[in-house]
Amino acid sequence: MSHAAFLSATPDGIGAASHPFIKMHGLQNCFAVLDFRKRASTPQPEDIVRLCDPRVGIGADQLIVIQHPSDKGRAAGAAAFMRIYNIDGREVSACGNATRCVAYLLMEEAGVRWVRIETSAGILRCRLAGAMQVSVELGPVSLDWRKIPLAREADTLDLPVESGPLKHGVGINIGNPHAVFFVRGLDRAEFARHAAVVQNDHLFPQGANVEAVEVLDDRTIRLSIWERPGLLTEACGTGACAAAFAARRRGLIHSDDVQVQMPGGTLTVRLDGDTTTMTGPVAFCCHGFVDLNADPPANAPNGQRIPNH
Ligand SMILES: N[C@H](CCC[C@H](N)C(=O)O)C(=O)O
């Protein structure tokens, strides 16, 4: 049975509300994956919060739901629509590492080596790049303040927001908003404190994923990531691409092939104009059944998770 086939299994003797899930990760950026291609519904926010919570649920940085593509997506050759939900239950438009994981599931299911996935940020081209290695070409990068989005016109190569060592950042939209700062060494706990201030600044009406980047050489950067809605993650695909693009744009690196080191491991990012392609490993963690539409835990997090530093 392929992993994707498990996602449509029906539990024998388990609660009727139970739904199969697979947990996967890309460099320890972890995802709970549900297949809703046989369900017309979307997950309830209280279910999303509970399922992402490591104490009462599966534990994940995002919940990913596979649906059938839209008519437009099908016409563009998309195999599925991938919906992305943050730990606070809100839907977002992009998740690079999750795209790599879902692409692996869909390619394994269909027995192919490339696949297109429809997301709210557009159609993404994905391909198998070796054993358990997947490449995803992310959509065009934008530095336009209106597309980040910012609350007011500003120089997106020198953002008017700072906290501690996070200064002179670069604002980028790569399907989701990012604020990229270049630093020299930064304790992870200190980064989390300052990144939370930046993320919640009024400059970002939709918030921002925040990266602190150290340039190690002409083709290698190291980054820490504070994702929306407020958590440190071990890796971030869109963040890696945004950081590599910003470093190249700032002239801090000169290679078009960038090694992006993160706490969970390294992604390779290929820069080509306003397109970025990330390549890296995917892995399966576990699978099982979850009850949906259950009551949220009494102390359901308000979308903030204590930094795991
Ligand atoms: N981990 C994801 C990024 C999730 C971004 C999400 N937290 C948002 O609010 O945009 C990645 O690999 O690109």
Give domain limits for the chain. Answer: 3-132+282-291, 170-279
Residues 218 and 252: beta-carbon distance below 8 Å: no
d(CA 277, CA 223): 17
The reported pLDDT for the residue numbered 307 is: 39
For residue 220, the one-letter residue type is T
Q: What is the mean pLDDT of residues 9-27?
A: 82
What pTM, to 2 d.p., does this model score?
0.92
Condensed to tens digits (0 to 9), the pLDDT of residues 96-114 reads 999 999 999 999 999 999 9
Ligand 1 centre and the CA of 94: distance in Å? Answer: 6
Ligand 1 centre and the CA of 16: distance in Å? Answer: 32
Averaged confidence pLDDT in the chain = 93
The reported pLDDT for the residue numbered 186 is: 87
Mutation pick for ligand 1 pocket among 85, 92, 137, 200 (CB with most ligand atoms within 8 Å): 92
Among residues 174, 187, 181, 199, the alpha carbon closest in space to that of 88 is found at 199
Annotation marks residue 95 as catalytic? yes
The reported pLDDT for the residue numbered 40 is: 76
Residues 242 and 262: beta-carbon distance below 8 Å: no
Ligand 1 centre and the CA of 235: distance in Å? Answer: 9
98 CA closest ligand 1 atom index = 12
Residues 198 and 180: beta-carbon distance below 8 Å: no
Q: Active site residue: 95, 101, 126, 241, which one?
A: 95
66-73's contacts with Cβ under 8 Å and 24+ in sequence apart are 66/7, 66/33, 66/34, 66/35, 66/36, 66/37, 66/102, 66/105, 66/106, 67/36, 67/37, 68/37, 69/118, 70/118, 72/118, 73/118, 73/123
Give the domain 3-132+282-291 fold: Diaminopimelate Epimerase; Chain A, domain 1 (3.10.310)
Q: How many CB atoms lie within 10 A of CB 294?
A: 16
d(CA 146, CA 81): 26
171 is known to lie in a ligand binding site? no
Q: Whose CA is nearest to atom 8 of ligand 1?
A: 228
281 falls in which pLDDT band (50, 70, 90)?
very high
Comparing 3-132+282-291 with 170-279, is the CATH topology the same?
yes
d(CA 137, CA 46): 32
- The ipTM of this complex is 0.91
The pLDDT of residue 81 is above 50: yes
Give the domain 170-279 fold: Diaminopimelate Epimerase; Chain A, domain 1 (3.10.310)
The reported pLDDT for the residue numbered 62 is: 98
Condensed to tens digits (0 to 9), the pLDDT of residues 165-212 reads 999 999 999 999 999 999 998 899 999 999 999 999 999 999 999 999
d(CA 267, CA 88): 26
Dihedral sign (CA 250, 251, 253, 259): positive
236 CA closest ligand 1 atom index = 12
Strand bridging mode 18-26 / 283-291: antiparallel
